[in-house]
Structure 1
């Protein structure tokens, strides 16, 4: 996959990984539609990139907003070649998470991907060309201590990306799933902190920051686009996640015991 001349949509592009992806896509010769719930922030990012980037503010879990992104891309630049489903939220913490927090995590972290694929895949299979990049998390392969909605929704995001690749991979649709650990973004800094259980939220953040290095969004974006260039399904900005994932699969009970010990150490 060469990105030069391609048309891309990036969600969650007002800051963090999404903004870094947009910058690298434009630098590589792509034209980009940026989306974010923070309309002011995403507009600032788009304006900094010049006429090859436009911004739309809105909830990218809303099908009408996604439809608007695709229509804007087609009007401004042409058919969409790549869709980066990058927007994500932390959700709640443990069993105290409300139904509203669970639903919000599932909407943004999973259903936003499903709805985008519904709108894009028919055209991609007709053209036998298209690329869907889902930003999940190492939590989708392992787990997230301190946040049940995040862990569960990211597992679902990985599962949907796998299904999408299996179902449409022979029809020209390529899929990548990005599973980083710690990234220096607003999500890591404040995304797990609800008003009712700060201690549990701090445990979630500590679990991420002590498990490995915290990368910059630019470092992660570079790894993502290298993975897209190679058309790799699983993109791991933290390579050690693969070793952890293999360890989990080889002895599930031992892995669970180790995670409980890790949690106890963090709490201590």
Structure 2
């Protein structure tokens, strides 16, 4: 399909993982794509994969002025913005509450929560009628994450932020939703980026298994498409059933 011919898409965190997969898929579906990342060389490498339909932009999502400049560059080149996939994030090195100090907490909140806020604020005034914004939260944004409480707190904030911005985007005839992936094989956890395939060839993920970056990217594109026009202000969980039941090792509840 060519769902996004004539449309302009912006993807943050596009230098690898979910962002890279989404940028490539947007381009395959006909969109003009802007690949934004703090690592400009990584974004440029993705642009090289895509070809002339893509451009690279450097952005520090934790800095509002940088987000404004990113959007200004998109408008200067393309003249409009239809979709924004605000996907940039940071997990950080944490193995429990005792390993999370104030500096790490501040950094994770600055990138994951303030970064989402900055991106939303920068794109909302210019997003086109009928457009859509998707923000990457996490399954850790709906349940606690003992290994990294700061990350989980920031991602919970992203879900609340997205839900709170529905009216502002509806006033422009647009939608906004959050994605809450479970375990995903990306460079964030040391897995390599892999080739993008036809969506019909993506493997079914085993129960509570690890997904691929493209699994998440496909849902992000769907949330930008007219097919999801009845959906806004939601936190879409993609986790192979991880959060659907009590953990299998738990004892039955009851007398």
**TM-score, normalised by the number of residues in structure 1:** 0.76
CA contact (8 A) 1:33 1:69 kept: no
1:218 to 214, 217, 221: 214
Instruction: Please identify, of 31-40 and 16-25, the stretch whose mean Cα deviation from structure 2 is larger.
Output: 31-40
Unaligned runs of 5+ in 2: 192-205
> Is residue 2:101 matched to residue 1:98?
yes
Tell me, in whole angstroms, the C-alpha distance in 1 between the residues paired with 2:248 and 2:101.
25
Per the TM alignment, residue 211 of structure 1 is displaced from its structure 2 partner at its CA by 8.2
CA contact (8 A) 1:62 1:112 kept: yes
* Counterpart residue number, 1:47: 48
Q: Distance in 2 between matches of 1:23 and 1:29?
A: 10
Map of 1:87 onto structure 2: 88
In structure 1, runs of 5+ residues without a counterpart are 191-209, 245-254, 263-268
Counterpart Cα distance in 1 of 2:40 and 2:190: 21
SS across alignment from 1:83: strand
SS at match of 1:103: helix
Counterpart among 211, 215, 224 of residue 228 in structure 1: 224
Q: Distance in 2 between matches of 1:68 and 1:260?
A: 49
Structure 1 pair 11–243 and aligned structure 2 pair: CA distance change class (3 A): same
State the partner residue of 2:160: 159
Q: Distance in 2 between matches of 1:260 and 1:179?
A: 24
Q: How much does 1:242 deviate?
A: 6.4
Structure whose residues are more often strand by fraction: 2
2:118 to 108, 115, 120: 115
Q: Deviations over 1:220-250 (max 9, x none)?
A: 2112222332143333333525635xxxxxx
- The DSSP-based 3-state class of the residue aligned with 1:236 is strand
Distance 1:69 1:167, change over 3 A: closer
| Cα distance per residue 1:40-65 (max 9 Å; x no partner) | 11111012211111112332222222
Whole-Å separation in 2 of the counterparts to 1:69 and 1:8: 12
RMSD: 2.6
Deviation, 1:167, is 4.4
Aligned-residue offset at 1:107: 1.1
Partners of 1:241 and 1:169 in 2: CA distance: 32
The question of whether the paired residues in 2 share the 8 Å contact of 1:3 and 1:30 is answered with yes
Alignment-derived partner of residue 144 in structure 1: 145
Cα distance between partner residues in 2 of 1:25 and 1:107: 27
2:190 corresponds to: 189
Q: Is the 8 A contact 1:35 1:55 kept in 2?
A: yes
In the alignment, is the contact (CA less than 8 A) between 1:92 and 1:149 conserved in 2? no
The answer to which structure has the higher helix fraction is 1
Q: Distance in 2 between matches of 1:155 and 1:234?
A: 10
Q: Which residue of 2 aligns with 1:77?
A: 78
CA distance in structure 2 between the partners assigned to 1:143 and 1:240 by the alignment: 16
Instruction: Give the count of matched residue pairs.
Output: 228
3-state secondary structure, aligned to 1:122 = coil
